[in-house]
Amino acid sequence: MTIQPPKGTRDFLPKEMIVRQFVFDIAREVFERFGFEPIETPAIESWELLSKKGGGGEDIKKEIYYFRDKADREIGMRFDLTAPLGRVAASNPQLPKPFKRYQMAAVWRYDNPQAGRYREFWQADADIVGSEKMDSEAECLVAAVTILEALGFRDFSIRLNNRKILNGIIEFLGIPKEKAPDVFRSLDKLEKIGESEVLKGVTSAGVNDSKAKKLLQMIKARGSPGTILQRERKRLESYSSAKQGMDELEQIVKRCRAYGIAGKLIIDLSLVRGLDYYTGPIFEISVRTKREIGSIAGGGRYDNLVEAYGGRWTPAVGISLGIERICEIMEAEKMVKHAQTRTKVFVAVADEGLMENAIFVAQKLRAAGINSQIELMGRSLGKQLEYVDRVKIPFAVIVGAQELKKGKYTVREMAKRKQGLFTLEKIIQTLRKK
Amino acid sequence: MTIQPPKGTRDFLPKEMIVRQFVFDIAREVFERFGFEPIETPAIESWELLSKKGGGGEDIKKEIYYFRDKADREIGMRFDLTAPLGRVAASNPQLPKPFKRYQMAAVWRYDNPQAGRYREFWQADADIVGSEKMDSEAECLVAAVTILEALGFRDFSIRLNNRKILNGIIEFLGIPKEKAPDVFRSLDKLEKIGESEVLKGVTSAGVNDSKAKKLLQMIKARGSPGTILQRERKRLESYSSAKQGMDELEQIVKRCRAYGIAGKLIIDLSLVRGLDYYTGPIFEISVRTKREIGSIAGGGRYDNLVEAYGGRWTPAVGISLGIERICEIMEAEKMVKHAQTRTKVFVAVADEGLMENAIFVAQKLRAAGINSQIELMGRSLGKQLEYVDRVKIPFAVIVGAQELKKGKYTVREMAKRKQGLFTLEKIIQTLRKK
């Protein structure tokens, strides 16, 4: 019996890793093009930090990897990249603002593993700390859209809402403020569990039946920014928080128009997002595939988090891309045209006595930036070429004694079973381009 | 009071991350040039796997992050990347051999934090699974040397030994085989604690005083491959294991000569390396700086590990680069000439009403692959330029109403306080090259 990875975690072998690296490389390149700078934080965080998640408290221990270290300190593995950023911003007030950072890393949640859900998964986050302006929301959105388009996604949309609008509606309905977090957590499940279940949730949060029904009715507004922001504005204008929320969304829409991504925006008052720390605009990017509509990115404004972690009050907004969902969809939709290996050439020897010549060839290829393997097992030429076929390396350069005398090498294009005799200079020149 | 990262862990802010990314990027590029393929494994592993470390057993719990998950499974955080690779190789017998993989990731050890030692640190490993040939040792070494040279390291050497030689010496002295692991663990501390302390360790492992002294005498041999392999060969040839060890080292030296790195090799019979799983050649790369000689990479052959994890018997060898030590030395020796930001241009506005023009400029710059920030806080032009100075972005493009009428923008080279008026095409053309 071999040993397996812990439940809910996986190994990524080269074939999968090559796709994942493609995704991470594009995300990194785009984030940097938008002026986000890299940071890295520890995989583990103190319970003091982690316990501030959501409503806070002991319940979180059920959702995360929590343990005590040998000095009896309470520790857990990070469940997202926003909490660590909040800590970094709080304890580094010297960082010039806006502090624009990206981080691409694993996070851990003690969920029940199911199809497409893991206990270890990767996120790619970009956040802007220090700016209250809606320009920041627009920047996060356009960076995410640019990444998704670079990855080949076409049919996706950005749902947009504002916690201030939701607060305004709650205020309008006379629901006490302190019930808002529970109400929001119920509303967040609308797509998953349906209206009647959500209604139960909202009433059990202490809202009476008629108000709960009215609430569900009011958040049904959904459509293009033009229609919704005008139609609902009249209805909600008298509630200052909702009005401010509308103004902010208008600002975002205006900036998105300048960026050329406004066509993807849908105002959706039923968008809530589960986390308690959001204070303003919230958004979610969904992609439509042949099978389903799936969320692949989400985020929002969380102006009070840095202060909650002991820092000065500092506004902040960010977006998080879900790497697992993105990779799965790319795989399922056959958007991936990647090789199964990063190696381009295998340097084979007709005879083990020619290994030093093979090393010479491999080193020349590598110096020219051509990824090359070399025979390492003393196998026959036939076995070497079988291996090259199996691992799908596209080319083999064969070092043979006779050809060597003429200063030449056999190059075989494996898939086409085509081969020819060339000088090393010619081989390098040709392979560099392929 | 702000919240701190857990003891022994750190945040890496952009300035440090830019150096680290430079190191990781070079390591990745070189590994791939040598035909190593990427894999990723979970941060957590089962206790079943982790417990096989070294001598195995409960003692390891003191050295690692160990805990029970909510289903009472015993879990720990990986302490290296070799154990997970062993597991992957054991449970994926279908992988064609040689399986050449690299992995660059964090590992965790519950060490006592001290200068330059952390509980979370990064390693960059390359391993070859499936080959018994010394060609594999040479490949690992030359890949590591290529990385170090690309990073700017010049004065470093590779110490080389073979566990088979050490076993031969122990056999020659009549020390029982089962005492070897304890003896090796003592010898491993020679540089740290000195000869007399090691002598105590070896004798307390059950070796009598005169044999222990003889042992320490015998492993003192150290020098160029030419001298040591000849001089010691005569002395050790009668012990089969030592003779085989000598033959293997000769093979490695021969291949390293072909690769042009033999001048860096030192045969050092006192090199032991702490881990129990080594079965053949072992090596360590040390760099000489103004201050000290420090080990920055190490590895060796571990032919029995895959089988110990439940797989078929599969030979394997690998090398691990210590990213923290490498980054520290590069910092201390001023080998790093990196910018403090990945951003090249800041697009500033003379007036907030020009934000849409600024967005147009930023998008053009970004489309041309020029990393660009844009004003996000509605600040005055003076405040914007103060920020650009503080975060050390090299250029500012200023969007002003008057200049805009002429289709031009002011470009300021921040460090030189030089500025001029150019068209956007000209700006992109110039900045692309810088």
Residues B332 and B350 in one domain: no
Name residues 144-203 of chain A within 8 A of B (Cβ): 146
Would you say residue B276 lies in a domain?
Answer: no
Chain B CB within 8 Å of residue A40 CB: yes
User: Over chain A, what is the mean pLDDT?
Assistant: 93
| Cα–Cα distance measured from residue A147 to residue A152, given in angstroms and rounded to the nearest whole number | 9
| Cα–Cα distance measured from residue B193 to residue A94, given in angstroms and rounded to the nearest whole number | 42
Chain B CB within 8 Å of residue A290 CB: no
Contact between A21 and A341 under an 8 Å Cβ cutoff? The reply is no
**Residue B222's closest CA among B290, B184, B165?**
B165
| Cα–Cα distance measured from residue A334 to residue A176, given in angstroms and rounded to the nearest whole number | 49
Which residues in chain A are closer than 8 Å to B38, comparing Cβ atoms?
14, 17-18, 21, 342
Q: Domain count of chain A?
A: 2
pLDDT confidence of residue B291: 75
Would you say residue A337 lies in a domain?
Answer: no
Contact between B39 and A13 under an 8 Å Cβ cutoff? The reply is yes
Would you say residue B298 lies in a domain?
Answer: yes
Residues B333 and B365 in one domain: no
Residues B106 and B139 in one domain: yes
Please determine, for residue B162, whether its predicted confidence score (pLDDT) is greater than 80.
yes
pLDDT tens for B93-122 read: 999 999 999 999 999 999 887 777 899 999
Return the CATH number at A214.
3.30.930.10
Residue B29's alpha-carbon distances to A376, A430, A432, B151, B388, in angstroms, are 20, 20, 15, 12, 32
Residues B318 and B357 in one domain: no
Give the domain-ending residue among A279, A310, A332.
Answer: A332
Span A168-185, mean pLDDT? 89
Task: Kindly report the length of chain A.
Answer: 434
A4, B46: Cβ pair inside 8 Å? Answer: yes
Amino acid in the structure at residue A92: N
pLDDT tens for A307-366 read: 999 999 999 999 999 999 999 999 988 898 878 999 999 999 999 999 999 999 999 999
Residues B29 and B143 in one domain: yes
Q: Among partner residues A91, A259, A309, which is closest to B359 by beta-carbon distance? A: A259
Give the domain-ending residue among A332, A367, A390.
Answer: A332
B43, A43: Cβ pair inside 8 Å? Answer: yes
Give the Cβ contact number of residue A152 at 10 Å.
13
Would you say residue A7 lies in a domain?
Answer: no
pTM for this prediction:
0.95
pLDDT band at B351; cut points 50, 70, 90: very high
Residues A124 and A35 in one domain: yes
Residues A321 and A413 in one domain: no
Would you say residue B372 lies in a domain?
Answer: yes
Give the domain-ending residue among B338, B356, B377.
Answer: B338
Give the rounded distance of the alpha carbon of A156 from its chain centre: 15
pLDDT confidence of residue B53: 67
Q: Say what the ipTM of the complex is.
A: 0.95
pLDDT band at B339; cut points 50, 70, 90: confident
pLDDT confidence of residue A55: 59
| Cα–Cα distance measured from residue B64 to residue B225, given in angstroms and rounded to the nearest whole number | 38
Helix (H, G, I), strand (E, B) or coil at B110: coil
Would you say residue A53 lies in a domain?
Answer: no
- Which of the two residues, B53 and B133, has the higher pLDDT score? B133
Question: Which runs of consecutive H residues, i.e. helices, occur in A266-347?
Answer: 305-308, 323-332
Residues B295 and B151 in one domain: yes
Q: Among partner residues A38, A120, A390, which is closest to B14 by beta-carbon distance? A: A38
**Residue A78's closest CA among A108, A113, A119, A103?**
A108
Using a pLDDT cut of 90, give the percent of chain B over it.
Answer: 78
pLDDT tens for B272-321 read: 998 788 999 999 999 988 777 789 999 999 999 999 999 999 999 999 99
Return the CATH number at B395.
3.40.50.800
Span A280-307, mean pLDDT? 92
Amino acid in the structure at residue A262: A
Question: Which runs of consecutive H residues, i.e. helices, occur in B97-224?
Answer: 134-151, 163-172, 180-187, 190-193, 195-204, 209-218
A75, B6: Cβ pair inside 8 Å? Answer: yes
Would you say residue B97 lies in a domain?
Answer: yes
Residues B184 and B320 in one domain: no
| Sole residue written with tokens 């059990």 | A204
Would you say residue B283 lies in a domain?
Answer: no
CB pairs under 8 A between A and B: 270
Residues B149 and B237 in one domain: no
| Cα–Cα distance measured from residue A48 to residue A355, given in angstroms and rounded to the nearest whole number | 59
Please determine, for residue B358, whether its predicted confidence score (pLDDT) is greater than 90.
yes
Structure tokens at B216: 């320490």
d(CA B39, nearest CA chain A) in Å:
5
B376, A131: Cβ pair inside 8 Å? Answer: yes
Residue of B nearest to A366 (CA): B33
Residues B90 and B232 in one domain: no
Domain range spanning residue B184? 163-265
Q: Among partner residues A20, A38, A371, which is closest to B21 by beta-carbon distance? A: A38
Residues B330 and B353 in one domain: no
Chain B CB within 8 Å of residue A226 CB: no
